[in-house]
């Protein structure tokens, strides 16, 4: 038992060091020419345009559930749901839009990155890049980092606006609040800075996804099982990291409200 725990701690520590090394190399390569703009645009299309429908669809229903549940419990506790639009808007802008969008991106984009890089590692394409004098980090990670950061930021903004629109529709259809009443209640609880903070969260979460996915892709073991395991690890680690970062950023932003 002790040997198992010790081995796990050593492996985890070494893996964390390797991840920090990959992050450092990526940041350095990010500001070092040449820049692969064509690849970056292609990856941005894959991240943003390819994920727009699923993100919009899921966050819309999340907003609807949030409104209905908030109304039900407020009526149950205080027999009044007049503050539902304000509380729901605050929850959507500060948490729901950014976190749900990023978790969906982790499942879709992060898994794709990990599988792609893992396959390149297994088929020795990564070693071939090194033999040609091409830095794999700059060639593979940097375009995905830029694309995922910008794409996640844009998707977060769109998701928040769509969530608020769906929440207003539900409030008018089921709770008796007009659009004007919803807007009036919303501005009492949230402001434009909440949308800015949500966009920052999206960009931070988006930058973490390719780093984690490529990290596990580079560490992928041989065979289809190794690629599948690396993909699973990347999704789990990415989801956990996003939740932890959300707590840290929420605590930091709370000083500016």
DSSP 145-165: HHHHHHHHHHHHHHHHHHHHH
Position 150 pLDDT exceeds 60 = yes
pLDDT of residue 208: 93
- Hey, what's the torsion of the CAs at 43, 21, 235, 228, to 10 degrees? 90
Q: What is the pLDDT of residues 205-232, one digit of tens each?
A: 999 999 999 999 888 887 778 888 888 8
Position 12 pLDDT exceeds 80 = no
Domain locations along the chain: 35-256
pLDDT band at 3 (very low <50, low <70, confident <90, very high): very low
pLDDT of residue 33: 82
- Rounded to an integer, the average pLDDT of 183-196 is 82
pLDDT of residue 203: 93
pLDDT band at 147 (very low <50, low <70, confident <90, very high): very high
pLDDT of residue 11: 44
- The rounded mean pLDDT for the chain is 83
pLDDT of residue 88: 81
- Rounded to an integer, the average pLDDT of 160-182 is 81
Percent of the chain whose predicted confidence (pLDDT) is above 70: 91
Can you give the pTM of this predicted structure? 0.86
Helix 84-91 / helix 179-189 crossing angle, nearest 10 deg: 60
pLDDT band at 200 (very low <50, low <70, confident <90, very high): very high
| Alpha carbons 16 and 215: distance in angstroms, whole number | 10
- Contact in structure between 168 and 178 (CB atoms under 8 Å): no
Q: What is the pLDDT of residues 44-102, one digit of tens each?
A: 888 888 888 888 888 888 888 888 877 777 767 676 666 777 778 888 888 888 899 99
- Rounded to an integer, the average pLDDT of 106-117 is 89
pLDDT band at 10 (very low <50, low <70, confident <90, very high): very low
| Alpha carbons 58 and 45: distance in angstroms, whole number | 20
pLDDT of residue 248: 92
Q: What is the pLDDT of residues 113-123, one digit of tens each?
A: 898 888 888 88
- Hey, what's the torsion of the CAs at 207, 208, 211, 217, to 10 degrees? -130
């Amino acid at each position: 038992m002790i040997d198992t725990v010790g081995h796990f701690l050593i492996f985890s520590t070494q893996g964390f060091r390797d991840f920090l090394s990959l992050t450092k190399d990526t940041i350095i390569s990010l500001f070092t020419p040449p820049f692969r703009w064509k690849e970056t645009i292609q990856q941005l299309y894959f991240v943003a345009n390819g994920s727009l429908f699923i993100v919009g669809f899921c966050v819309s229903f999340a907003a609807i559930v949030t409104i209905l549940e908030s109304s039900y419990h407020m009526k149950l506790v205080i027999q009044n749901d007049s503050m539902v639009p304000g509380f729901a808007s605050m929850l959507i802008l500060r948490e729901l839009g950014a976190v749900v969008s990023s978790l969906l991106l982790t499942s879709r984009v992060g898994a794709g990155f990990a599988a792609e890089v893992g396959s390149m590692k297994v088929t020795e394409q990564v070693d071939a890049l090194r033999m040609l004098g091409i830095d794999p980090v700059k060639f593979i990670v940097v375009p995905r980092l830029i694309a995922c950061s910008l794409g996640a930021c844009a998707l977060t903004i769109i998701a928040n606006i769509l969530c608020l629109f769906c929440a207003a529709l539900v409030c008018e259809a089921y709770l008796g609040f007009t659009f004007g009443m919803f807007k009036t209640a919303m501005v009492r609880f949230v402001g434009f800075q909440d949308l800015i903070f949500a966009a920052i969260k999206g960009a931070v979460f988006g930058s973490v996804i390719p780093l984690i996915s490529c990290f596990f892709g580079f560490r992928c073991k041989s065979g289809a099982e190794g690629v599948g395991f690396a993909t699973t690890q990347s999704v789990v680690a990415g989801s956990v990291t996003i939740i932890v970062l959300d707590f840290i950023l929420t605590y930091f932003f709370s000083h500016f409200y």
